[in-house]
C-alpha cells in the first residue's frame, strides 16, 4: 500500500496558486490524481477548459467559481463537479488563502483562451 507522506508531496506553483500533489503516476497511482490547491487572497486564475472531469472540494475559505457561464460563490464544505469540456475560472476575492482538494483522472490538460495547452505535472 503506497503511503504518500506530506513531506513527500511535490509542490508546483502556477498563476499565483500552489498545487501540492499526492496521488500521481510518479507516486504509484494508476488512474487518478489528487492534490491540494492553495489559492491566495486576491488570486484569479485565467479561464481554462479541461479535458477530464475534475472534482473540487473546498476545504477552507471561499471562492468565486465561474463554470461555463454560471458564477457561484462556494464556501468550505462545498464540492464542484467540473465536466470534461467545461470552462472554469477560479477567483479568491477574500482576504485569506482558500484550500481545495481536487481529484481527476490521469491525463488532465487545460486549454487557455489563447489556445495555450497546459499539461499540469501534478495531474500526469
d(C-alpha 57, C-alpha 16), whole Å: 19
Q: How high is the pLDDT of residue 79?
A: 98
**Which residue in the block uniquely carries the three cell numbers 481536487?**
102
Reported as half-sphere exposure (CB side, CA atoms, 13 A), residue 107 has a value of 7
pLDDT digits (tens, 9 = 90+) for 67-96: 999 999 999 999 999 999 999 999 999 999
For residue 1, pLDDT beyond 70: no
How much is the pTM?
0.93
Q: Which residues pair with residue 118 across a beta bridge?
A: 110
Amino acid at each position: 500500500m503506497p503511503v504518500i507522506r506530506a513531506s513527500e508531496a511535490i509542490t508546483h506553483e502556477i498563476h499565483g496558486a500552489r498545487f501540492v500533489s499526492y496521488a500521481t503516476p510518479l507516486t504509484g497511482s494508476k488512474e487518478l490524481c489528487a492534490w491540494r490547491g492553495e489559492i491566495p487572497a486576491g488570486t484569479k486564475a485565467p479561464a481554462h477548459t479541461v479535458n477530464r472531469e475534475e472534482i473540487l472540494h473546498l476545504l477552507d475559505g471561499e471562492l468565486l467559481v465561474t463554470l461555463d457561464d454560471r458564477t457561484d460563490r462556494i464556501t468550505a464544505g462545498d464540492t464542484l463537479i467540473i465536466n470534461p469540456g467545461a470552462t472554469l475560472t477560479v477567483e479568491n476575492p477574500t482576504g485569506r488563502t482558500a484550500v481545495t482538494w481536487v481529484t481527476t483522472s490521469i491525463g488532465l490538460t487545460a486549454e487557455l483562451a489563447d489556445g495555450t495547452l497546459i499539461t499540469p505535472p501534478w495531474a500526469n
